A and B are shown apart, each in its own frame.
Chain A
C-alpha cells in the first residue's frame, strides 16, 4: 500500500475533478484527504490517495488531463508517517490591510518564533485588500497575550490590522 500526493494546477474548466477522480478510481486508489479551490481564478487541487499503484502508473493514467498543456499534474509518493496530533491550543489569526510584500512572512514569523504551527491557511487579494486567515496550533507553554502583543507590533509596522482569537468549537 502506498500513499500518493497528487497536485493538479492550471486553467479552470468544468470536468477537471470528474476526470481526475475517475482515473484514480480506475486504478483502485482510495481518495483520502483533498482540497481544491480557485487561486486567482486558477484551478488548484491537492489529493492524497492510498492504493496499490505506483507514482509512475498514476502519472501515466493522469497524463491525458495535461495533454493540451492547460493543466500541470504531479504525483509523488509520500513517506509513511503518522499524522501528528494537535498538542496545544487552537487559534484563528486574521490579518487584513493594504497589500504589500512580506505580510505573511512577517506575521507567520512571529508564530514560528514561539513554536506555533499553522494548520490551515488562506490568503486573498481582493482589489487593494490583502487578507490572511490562519488556524494555529500553539504549544500549551506559549504566552498567548505576549504573542498577541508581538503580532500587533508587527502589524502596526506593516500598517495592517491583526486579531488572534481562540478557535471555538461547540461539543454537541
Chain B
C-alpha cells in the first residue's frame, strides 16, 4: 500500500483559520441519524468547520476521528488522526475530507468500536480492513483518492458512516455484539 503524499503532508495549519472546540452531541440526537448534506469544500464555513473538528478531536482524550454530525452539523465533513493508535499500520496523520465515500473495500475484520456520541456502549462491527476512499480536501477542494488499511481504514469507515447518518450500532454484528461500558456508580 502507498500513502497519498498530498494527504499525508496535509495539516490543519493549511486551513489558515483557528479551530474552536465544539460540544459533542450524543445519541439519540436526530442529527446523528440523518444523512448529511454534501458541502462545497472551498466555502469559508466548511473550512471553519474542518478546523473546529480537528480542534475538538485534539482536546478529546483517545479520539481518533470526529464527523460533522457529532458537533451538530448534518453535513459530510470529518477528520481523522490515527497516528498514535497501537492498531494503526499505515496512516496519513491528521486530515479532513469532505463528501467522502468508500469506492473499494476488501478483507473483512471484526473489532470492537466505541464512539464519543455513544459513550455508554461499545459494539463488535465487521468492516473491510483495506479501503479506497475518495473525497475532497477542505480549503482547496482538491479531489483525492487514497488507500487505507488496518485501523485507519476502520476509522475512515466509521466517520463516513457518521456523515451518512449511521452509527456503529447500525452495523453491530448481532444481538450479543453490544456491550455496556463499565460505569462506576
Contacts and interface: CB of A to CB of B under 8 A. Distances in A.
Contacts of A133: 169, 172, 174-175, 177-178
B28 interface: yes
B121 A131 contact: yes
A124 B33 contact: no
Contacts of A38: 180
Interface string A79-96: 000000000000010101
B167 interface: yes
A126 interface: yes
Given A120-B174, A120-B176, A131-B169, A168 B28 contact: no
A56 interface: no
Given A94-B170, A161-B170, A127 B26 contact: yes
Of the candidates A97, A128, A129, A168, the one having the most CB atoms from chain B within 10 angstroms of its own CB is A129
Interface string B142-185: 00000000000000000000000111011111111110100001
Nearest to A128: B28
Given A96-B27, A98-B28, A128-B28, A170 B174 contact: no
B180 A124 contact: yes
Interface in B111-147: 118-121, 126
B108 interface: yes
Contacts of A135: 174-175
**Chain A interface secondary structure, helix, strand, loop or mixed?**
strand
A130 B178 contact: no
Interface centre among A126, A134, A168 (most CB of B within 10 A): A126
Interface string A32-68: 0000001001000000000000000000000000000
A121 interface: yes
A131 B177 CA distance: 12
A128 B166 CA distance: 18
Interface of A: 38, 41, 92, 94, 96-99, 120-122, 124, 126-131, 133-135, 159-161, 163, 165, 167-168, 170
Interface of B: 26-28, 30, 33, 108, 118-121, 126, 165-167, 169-178, 180, 185
30 contacts: A92-B172, A92-B175, A94-B169, A94-B170, A96-B28, A96-B167, A96-B169, A97-B28, A97-B33, A122-B178, A124-B121, A124-B180, A126-B119, A126-B180, A127-B26, A127-B120, A128-B27, A129-B26, A129-B27, A130-B28, A131-B178, A133-B172, A133-B178, A134-B175, A159-B30, A160-B28, A161-B170, A163-B166, A163-B170, A170-B108
